[in-house]
Amino acid sequence: MSACGRSASVVKATALEILSEPVTLLVLLASLVLAVLAPAFHYHQFGEPTRMARDAGFSAVFTGGTVLAVFATIRSIRREIETGTIEMALSHPISRGMFFVAKACGAFAACIVFALTVFGVSLTSVAGAAVGGAIAERTGGIARIWGPCVAVGMAVIVLPLVAAAAANRLFRFRFVLASTVTAACAAVASASWAFSLDPAVLAPYFLAALPLVAFIAVFVSASAAFAVRFRANVAAVCSGVLFAAMVPFAGNYYLSDALSAGGSVSWIGAAVPFAAAIPAIAAFTLLGIGWTAERT
């Protein structure tokens, strides 16, 4: 197998490994519950029926994505080092730098699956808030999340678990992996349906959520580098310190307030956080490559 083929295998294996971790499913379920139930319980919207749904979705992707990026990345790389499988992997035609980049890309791919799942369900909640607000204006009632959207959101949480349990029982599929993959597919389907309900409301929300991907990428690259150099607990502390340092700048990635203020986000406004994150991602990647070479 060529070096590129080997790198692709490492990316795939790492992504599947992280998606098969019980902690991934726990973080995913907690984030989905936040995205669905937080706006559902907030019935009085004070004239802004979609704001609570947007904020809950942003918070779920932002918090859950960061937690998963840190702990899943560290766990995956430390397992390679502590079990000695990294030496076996490097005996194949792949350089140390390519191996590190492939591991980081695999962890990032798993985080993207997570973010798309939570974001898809969040889109459904935002659409339900918009429809519920429109109904309230016509009827003079209280703005609530439209019932069918809540039902779809809950279905994305519950049905993948039922389907995965059945697949595990009948075909011996891995329960956690089957749950996460099925939830991702269900979330994409629910998002497509929600987009058909109110594309005008959801398009700006989709654009505003993109910078969160850059924020998560910074923590994947940083956590991967720290995991190569330090033990798991020290690497987690280093990532925590990085998070504390980045909190003052988090508003550049968390654009919910921009939507509430103007109702839209420009492409430039969404692209700037990506550009700002590139130097940090590159620096941590180079650091990780250097530390990988030192250890092996």
Q: What is the pLDDT of residues 128-146, one digit of tens each?
A: 888 888 888 888 777 778 8
SS3 of the chain: CCHHHHHHHHHHHHHHHHHCCHHHHHHHHHHHHHHHHHHHHCCCCCCCCCHHHHHHHHHHHHHHHHHHHHHHHHHHHHHHHHHCHHHHHHCCCCCHHHHHHHHHHHHHHHHHHHHHHHHHHHHHHHHHHHHHHHHHHHHCCCCCCCHHHHHHHHHHHHHHHHHHHHHHHHHCCCHHHHHHHHHHHHHHHHHHHHHHHCHHHHHHHHHHHCHHHHHHHHHHHHHHHHHHHCCHHHHHHHHHHHHHHHHHHHHHCCCHHHHHHHCCCCHHHHHHHHHHHHHHHHHHHHHHHHHHHHHC
Q: How many separate domains does the chain show?
A: 1
CA angle centred on 31, ends 168 and 159, rounded to 5°: 35
Q: What are phi and psi of 288, to 5 degrees?
A: -65, -40
Mean pLDDT, residues 207-216 taken together: 87
Whether 276 shows a pLDDT value over 90: the answer reads no
pLDDT at 21: 93
pLDDT exceeds 90 at position 237: yes
For residue 4, what pLDDT is reported? 76
Host domain of residue 191: 3-295
Q: Could you tell me which residue, 241 or 255, shows the higher pLDDT?
A: 241
Rounded Cα distance, 129 and 145, in Å: 4
Answer yes or no: is pLDDT of 100 > 70: yes
pLDDT: is 18 or 254 the higher one?
Answer: 18
The larger pLDDT score, comparing residue 142 to residue 10, is at: 10
pLDDT band with cut points at 50, 70 and 90 for residue 295: low
Q: What percent of the chain has pLDDT over 90?
A: 53
Give the pTM: 0.92
Instruction: Give the pLDDT confidence score for residue 48 in this predicted structure.
Output: 64
Taking the C-alpha atoms of residue 20 and residue 174, their distance in angstroms, rounded to an integer, is 7
Look at residue 41 in the predicted model and tell me its pLDDT.
66
